[in-house]
Structure 1
Amino acid sequence: MTDLTAALESGDDTASTLEAVCTHAVRAVPGAEIASVTVITEGKAETAAYTDEIALRVDRAQYAAGDGPCLRAAATGEIVRMSLPHAGREWPEFVDFARGEGIGSYLAAPLRVDETLSGALNLFSTESHGFEELDGKVLELYTVVVASGLRTTRRFRRAHDLAAHLDTAMRNRAVIEQAKGILMAAHSISDVEAMQRLIRESQNTNVKLREVAVRFVHEATRPAG
């Protein structure tokens, strides 16, 4: 678990974080051979990370059917353990597909990051043991760590985006104020009148206000000749 925490802290993006989760989960749970992470945003499910193409195909079979162990775990918030040879009645089409891919057991633990992002951490085995109850508990611990790490990542990105927007807004305002000042001095007009001139030019030329201001400042400060 310490190794996983370090991977979460050092991950450059969400994709690398989830890939690290899959790798560590397979190592942690006996009998697990393949892992994937299902994420659900605005009701749409997709596989965000996986250790084998088989997991991607099996997950997509669930999404197409609209039900299956990972979707059930995400919807109910409960761990789903199943031996595929004994689960045909509940999800016959999915089970047939998964067994055709060589999967014998499936374990899914719900993953909830916030109101807009949920999903499941999924483990697959070619054996039909169905995983043990303890395996589900171990996987559940991983989802807690993962959710915490992803929340931190999302908060950091929101703060970073906000800072970038504020920086852009400040730079936009600075050049607009500079253009207004030049207009006020050149034409002996008020602050409001200078702003109106810039707005009219923006509307008449269908160019953003900031670009109009940048162009005006450039022309006004360009050396003669």
Structure 2
Amino acid sequence: MTGAGSTASIEERFAAALTAQEPDGDGGAQDLPVRLARTAAAVLGTAAAGISLLTDEPLRRLPVGASNAEAAMAEQLQFTAGEGPCLAVHRIGHPTFSDDVDMARRWPGFHDLLRRRTSYTAVASLPLRDRGRGFGALDLYLADDDGLRGLDTFTAVVTGDLVAQHLTLGAMLRPVGSGQAGSPWFRGAAAPRLVTWQAIGMLMARHPLDADEALQVIRRRAVDLDTTTDAVGAAVVAGDVDAADL
């Protein structure tokens, strides 16, 4: 891993890369996290990037944007495994850089899912902060360990700070007269996870479980079915899986 460049030059590259990103939807604020993830991957030369919001509560990890579908799956797999680099970054408050061997040692459940479901073998994770307080993580996915060793750490840290700045600014914006709380990108990203929380409530109503125990039940079923926690949660809420049978 290397360190080079100046903050000003990185900011210019980031701004240019962000401007070049084509929005997926209507070009509004809802596309912001996806555009930021693609921008981070472009600036840093990584295979992909993902952005998630986190709190100290175990259920409150919310993927909000990814540069491609494979990165979106990798972000989901961290929640399914209940472990991974972004959770570690939020806990310790500083970046982590993990190759294949290190991931297998630190997060074996996530490592196994990641290797089976994606082409990524290394990951760098950077904390996202607002006025010194951590609120999320930027995950950078790489297809080989050489890519991790060649990552410019200074550029990566500055890029993480820029992503955080854009997210916090975007969270302050509200459509005029909308009467809706929260930014558009947050509401859109939260919908699948809200379904999972609803499924957890259904399990708690059927079994003598607390929220964390119900989440573990859904995670085990997701691993058994080689799918994601949110997919199992959606199946429970839809009635395709009976909460009483879990």
Sequence identity percentage: 21
4+ residue runs over 4 A deviation: 4-8, 114-117
What SS does the corresponding residue of 1:112 show, helix, strand or coil?
Answer: strand
Q: Is the 8 A contact 2:86 2:139 kept in 1?
A: yes
From 138, 144, 147, the equivalent of 2:164 is 147
**Residue 42 of structure 1, CA deviation:** 6.8
For residue 174 of structure 2, what is the aligned residue in structure 1? Answer: 157
Higher relative contact order (CA closer than 8 Å, sequence separation 6+) = 2
Pairing 1:80–2:93 present: no
Q: Closer, same or farther in 2 for the Cα pair 1:104/1:116, shift >3 Å?
A: same
For residue 225 of structure 2, what is the aligned residue in structure 1? Answer: none
Q: Is the 8 A contact 1:109 1:136 kept in 2?
A: no
Per-residue CA deviation, residues 172-191 of structure 1 (Å, 9 max, x unaligned), is xxxxxxxxxxxxxxxxxxxx
In structure 1, C-alpha distance between the alignment counterparts of 2:143 and 2:159, rounded to whole Å: 22
Counterpart residue type for residue 69 of structure 2: E
**Residue 109 of structure 1, CA deviation:** 0.8
Larger % of helix: which? Answer: 1
Q: Is the 8 A contact 1:35 1:50 kept in 2?
A: yes
**Residue 143 of structure 1, CA deviation:** 2.0
Per-residue CA deviation, residues 22-51 of structure 1 (Å, 9 max, x unaligned), is 111111223x11111111257311211112
From 11, 24, 27, the equivalent of 2:39 is 24
Residues matched between the structures, number: 160
For residue 2 of structure 1, what is the aligned residue in structure 2? Answer: 15
For 1:36-115, what aligned pairs fall within 5 Å after superposition?
Answer: 36-40=50-54, 43=57, 44-100=60-116, 101-113=118-130
Q: Closer, same or farther in 2 for the Cα pair 1:140/1:131, shift >3 Å?
A: same
For residue 191 of structure 1, what is the aligned residue in structure 2? Answer: none
- Which is worse superposed, 113-122 or 92-101? 113-122
**Residue 151 of structure 1, CA deviation:** 2.4
In structure 2, C-alpha distance between the alignment counterparts of 1:164 and 1:102, rounded to whole Å: 42
Q: Is the 8 A contact 1:109 1:121 kept in 2?
A: yes
For residue 35 of structure 1, what is the aligned residue in structure 2? Answer: 49
**Residue 78 of structure 1, CA deviation:** 0.9
Counterpart residue type for residue 34 of structure 2: E
Counterpart residue type for residue 121 of structure 1: L
In structure 2, C-alpha distance between the alignment counterparts of 1:118 and 1:35, rounded to whole Å: 17
In structure 2, C-alpha distance between the alignment counterparts of 1:46 and 1:136, rounded to whole Å: 25
What SS does the corresponding residue of 1:87 show, helix, strand or coil?
Answer: helix
Counterpart residue type for residue 21 of structure 1: L
Q: Which runs of 5+ in 2 are unaligned?
A: 1-13, 181-246
In structure 2, C-alpha distance between the alignment counterparts of 1:97 and 1:137, rounded to whole Å: 29
**Residue 62 of structure 1, CA deviation:** 1.5
**Residue 94 of structure 1, CA deviation:** 1.1
Please give the TM-score of this superposition, normalised by the length of structure 2.
Answer: 0.55
Q: Is the 8 A contact 1:4 1:21 kept in 2?
A: no
